[in-house]
Structure 1
Amino acid sequence: MSVDIIDNNDSLPPLEHWLQAIANQRDKQAFKQLFHWFAPKIQRFGMKQFNHPEQAKELVQETMTSVWRKAHLFDADKGAATTWVYTIMRNASFDMLRKIRTQKEEHLSDDIWPLVESDVVEPLDVSDHLMSNKIKRLLDRLSHEQRQLIEGVYFKELSQEQLAEQFNIPLGTVKSRLRLAIAKLRHLMGEHS
């Protein structure tokens, strides 16, 4: 993961000074300055990494919270402030990616499909056929991309990683499209209940 978010035109403010003020005096004004300088850069990196605005904002919050807590560990003799903050950002990014990967995919299916309460599978009846038609009509109201992902996860039993590879899109895009599709299906189901 390369951190290529510093613009060549940026003039470097007194970042080390701000970090020392945070470490020594818990200076909120210095933190505010540091936050305003780093936040847009971290957010741009987060958008490249996760392709999702909320996760990019979360990366900013995680990084800058760690900077506030760990400012006393910064040593200007060992490296630049930018390197130190971007290392914290990179670690927070890795943590977020691990968290995303370890989330259970079953939770997505729980959102729209009821759990089977017994081991007995009853034969399909007319109401099952009607329910299938209703679901098909609801799926037809999703965007093409959302419908493909829902069908992939729930009907073809593909993992999110397999779908990302199949459609050549980032895993974060698969997750966000599935989230949006599920939210839309919930809304549509509410309209038709």
Structure 2
Amino acid sequence: MNKLNTISENDENDSIQKALCDVANHQDKKAFEILFKHFSPKIRAFGLQRFRQEAQALELVQETMLLVWRKATLFNAEKGKATTWIYTIMRNHCFDMLRKKMTQKEDQVSDDLWPMLEDEEVIEEDHLLSRNLIAHINSLPKPQRDVVEALYIKELSQPEVASLLKIPLGTVKSRLRLALSKLKTTLEVDHD
């Protein structure tokens, strides 16, 4: 039984590698169709596990397979299996999507926060700094306050803040999310 599984696995790997080489060398659409039919259900399942949303899982399938089509000439059979190469493209694109999703969440929280302050008195010629906001920033726990001040007052990038405060970049992002969420809640209460 194991021999049969090994043989069929080897045949499958060979046919995938041949299809990928045909896409790379001849832009063979039939070969690409073979790859798409084989990998799309697996990529979709991986995407559903990561994103828990059908639309994003399908976007992962589409973008991964598009990258496979475009980058097929970069595949080198001597360096590894075709399946490994395709799954690496999938994982890398998935990480890109997750990073983008996290950045959008942070941007939405900060975008929701700053418009609330547009009617208030502005100091130091910076429309983001109002007396009310400064008071609320000062009421944050010190680790969160340090991150907010470094990002929005000193205008440092997140990696620069991580270096300045000697903390991991992920910690900067977590503290920023917590701080912006607290500020938003506090300012919404004040604004009502």
TM bracket (short chain): 0.5 to 0.7
Cα drift, residue 115 of structure 1: 4.4
From 148, 157, 174, give the equivalent of 2:181. 157
Give the structure 2 partner of residue 57 of structure 1.
Answer: 58
Measured in 1, the distance between the counterparts of 2:109 and 2:33 equals 38
Letter in 1 for 2:63: E
Measured in 2, the distance between the counterparts of 1:74 and 1:57 equals 24
- Structure 1 gaps, min length 5: 1-7, 121-152, 160-193
Give the structure 2 partner of residue 90 of structure 1.
Answer: 91
What does the per-residue CA deviation read over 1:16-61, in whole Å, with 9 as the maximum and x for residues that have no partner?
Answer: 1111110111111111110010000001011111111111111111
TM-score, length of structure 2 as denominator length: 0.53
> Percent identity between the aligned chains?
52
Measured in 2, the distance between the counterparts of 1:53 and 1:47 equals 6
Cα drift, residue 110 of structure 1: 6.5
Give the structure 1 partner of residue 67 of structure 2.
Answer: 66
Measured in 2, the distance between the counterparts of 1:98 and 1:110 equals 18
Q: What RMSD over aligned residues (CA atoms) do the two structures have, in Å?
A: 3.3
What does the per-residue CA deviation read over 1:122-176, in whole Å, with 9 as the maximum and x for residues that have no partner?
Answer: xxxxxxxxxxxxxxxxxxxxxxxxxxxxxxx9xx9359xxxxxxxxxxxxxxxxx
Cα drift, residue 92 of structure 1: 0.5
Higher helix residue share: 2
Larger Rg: 2
Give the structure 1 partner of residue 119 of structure 2.
Answer: 118
How many positions carry a matched residue from both structures? Answer: 119
What does the per-residue CA deviation read over 1:169-189, in whole Å, with 9 as the maximum and x for residues that have no partner?
Answer: xxxxxxxxxxxxxxxxxxxxx
Give the structure 1 partner of residue 12 of structure 2.
Answer: 12
Measured in 1, the distance between the counterparts of 2:56 and 2:70 equals 21
Measured in 1, the distance between the counterparts of 2:182 and 2:83 equals 41
Give the structure 1 partner of residue 136 of structure 2.
Answer: none
* Residues 17-32 of structure 1 aligned to structure 2 (within 5 Å): 17-32=18-33
Measured in 2, the distance between the counterparts of 1:18 and 1:67 equals 11
More deviation, 64-73/100-109: 100-109
Cα drift, residue 62 of structure 1: 1.4
Cα drift, residue 79 of structure 1: 0.9
